[in-house]
Every structure is written in structure tokens, then in C-alpha cells.
Amino acid sequence: MTKPLATFMIGLCVALAPGCGRKGPLVLPPGGAPMSVEALTASPAHNAVILQWTNPVKAVSGKPVGPIEAVEVWVFDKGLPAGGQPLTSGDIEKSARLVRRIPRQELDSLESVSGEAPGLLAYTYDIVPGPSAPTKLAFTVRVFDRKGRASDFAAPAAVDLARKDARLEPPAPEGVS
């Protein structure tokens, strides 16, 4: 009597074994992605916008994040995001455009230029003045770790370039300083 039971159990294990586990590509466990950047600000400057932020030092899981491999700067130049509504990565990728992907080698030089606080980065977004120049812009940033995991996008930082202190001026004619 034990032989038929043993045969049945072995047959059951063999039949169910292919159904165990997850099909498809391997996915890294959640929580390993970096947190989003902190304190993203956008300030008008002479024919430019200065963005400043602090890169994350922790992953979503709370563990220290490794070196940041790249930073992406995105701009909303048409259809600024509505305030108070959380934006998903898909929303941002549809309504904003990627301005720059800054690799790790350039991040080191951005950190050394800012000098105000450790970890504070500054990036200058140049604007061509003229009748088609935007009057309002919003920016967001996300970072990537060495394994290619992306952080969430930072809350957008907006800047009003129509204000008098925004200093959007047409370029000087050649030969005039």
C-alpha cells in the first residue's frame, strides 16, 4: 500500500514542479532603487534657469545607495503639470522632454562647482530669448544607480520667466558689448 502512495506523491511533485516559480525575466527586489532627489529648485538667471538639488544617499529600502551613475533633467515647456497631483513616470515621459542625461563623470564636476553644501548639484538650462521663448517652465529630475535602477521623479520645480527679475534679454548685436 505504501508503494502506490509513494508513486502518487512523486507523480504529483513532478506534475506540479513546472508550475512553481515565476515566469519571465528576473526582476530586482523592490526597494533597491534610489530615493528621489531632495530640494529641487529652479531660479531664473540671465537667459537661463539654474536648477539645484541634492542627490539621494539612501535607497527606497533605507539602505545606503551606491554611487549615482547618471542624472536626468526633464523640462515641461508645454502643458505644465497641475499642482497638487502626483505625477507618475509615464505622465512625465509623455508631457515633458528629456533635456540632458548627465553621466557620473560630469556629476563630479557639478558637485565641485556648487561648493555651497556637500552633495548640492547645480545645472544651468540655457534659454534663447525671443518672441517664441517660454514664459513659464517646470523641471524635474531623477537619478540612476550603478545597476540602472531609476528613482522616482522629484516634485516639479517651476519658474516664471515673465517676471521682471527673470532677465531674459535678447543677445547683443555682434561687435557690441
Question: What is the torsional sign of CA 72, 141, 83, 48?
Answer: negative
Q: Is residue 10 part of a domain?
A: no
Q: Is residue 80 part of a domain?
A: yes
Q: What is the mean pLDDT of the chain?
A: 78
pLDDT above 70 covers a percentage of the chain that reads 69
Question: What confidence category does residue 41 fall into, taking pLDDT thresholds of 50, 70 and 90?
Answer: very high
Report the number of distinct structural domains present in the chain.
Answer: 1
The whole domain housing 114 covers: 38-165
Cβ–Cβ < 8 Å for 55, 172:
no
Q: Is residue 20 part of a domain?
A: no
The pLDDT value given to residue 116: 59
Q: Is residue 29 part of a domain?
A: no
Q: Is residue 108 part of a domain?
A: yes
CATH number for the domain spanning 83: value is 2.60.40.10
**Strands, DSSP E only, in the chain?**
38-45, 48-54, 68-76, 97-103, 120-126, 136-145, 157-160
Q: Is residue 7 part of a domain?
A: no
